[in-house]
Amino acid sequence: MSIHPTAVIDKKAELDSTVHVGPYAVIEEGVRIGADTKVLAHAVISGPTTIGERNLIGSFATVGGAPQDLSYKGEPTELIIGNDNQIREYASIHRGTPGGHGKTVIGNNNLLMAYIHVAHDCHLGDHVIMANVATLAGHVEVGSNASIGGLVAIHQFCRIGCYSYIGGVSGIGRDVPPYVIIAGTRNGTKISGINKIGLKRNGFSRETITKLENAYRIIFRSNTLLIKDALELAKHEIPDCPEVDSMVKFFEDSKRGVALRTVEEVNGD
């Protein structure tokens, strides 16, 4: 274990013998940190927080702080972080609330850049990228392999679908479907199509991408169909495709409503 002499570590914190702790870092009671994790200078980790293996906690990051929720009265809630995550400088990640099942959860292999904020009760999958100053309000769910651009703000209780891409400086007030590209202000977010580049980079076949493009045309560009009818048509026209089934189910499970406005609609095409 490598602990700088200026670091402050509570006696009840549990650190693996291979953890590195930099100058002036503070690790409080109720924190557990797994093997080969690095906590850099001036980072603050509060508990109850469980951090897995091979994570990087950047300088001045605040991890496991109490939720910013007026209804929170000090109840025992927690933050759970998986393995191989990079949490960069000045990031803030808060514990859950009793109303959100008491947990904020971050998966594995995520890149959370400088100044990002993950609020109480959020759930992030794996391989998520949040660029600088991206912000999640409470109870947001982010699917695996989603990319969230810089300065993006996402409203509480929204869901961000897997493999989606949100352009920088966007405001998101509704659920973002999986596999799409979206950008714009909260009242003018526009979906521009399937995230083909992201899907190719993640090994999706040409056939699967084509099927998703066909589903996109049915669901998002069938101006004569109600959305429920478009979803049924997509399932019927493109059978035996788990990705299309996943997109349809995402719509069916939505409680806030799903972003549907496309670039073509905005431009009057």
User: What six digits make up the tokens of 125?
Assistant: 């999958």
Q: What residues are labeled active site?
A: 120-121, 138
CA distance linking residue 201 with residue 183, whole number of Å:
20
Give the burial string for 29-62 (b: 16+ CB within 10 Å, else e).
Answer: ebbebbebbbbbbbbbbbbbbbbbbbbbbbbbbb
CA distance linking residue 18 with residue 1, whole number of Å:
5
Q: Are strands 180-183 and 190-194 parallel, antiparallel or unpaired?
A: antiparallel
Q: What does each C-alpha distance from 86 to 59, 107, 199, 205, 223 come to in angstroms?
A: 11, 11, 22, 29, 43
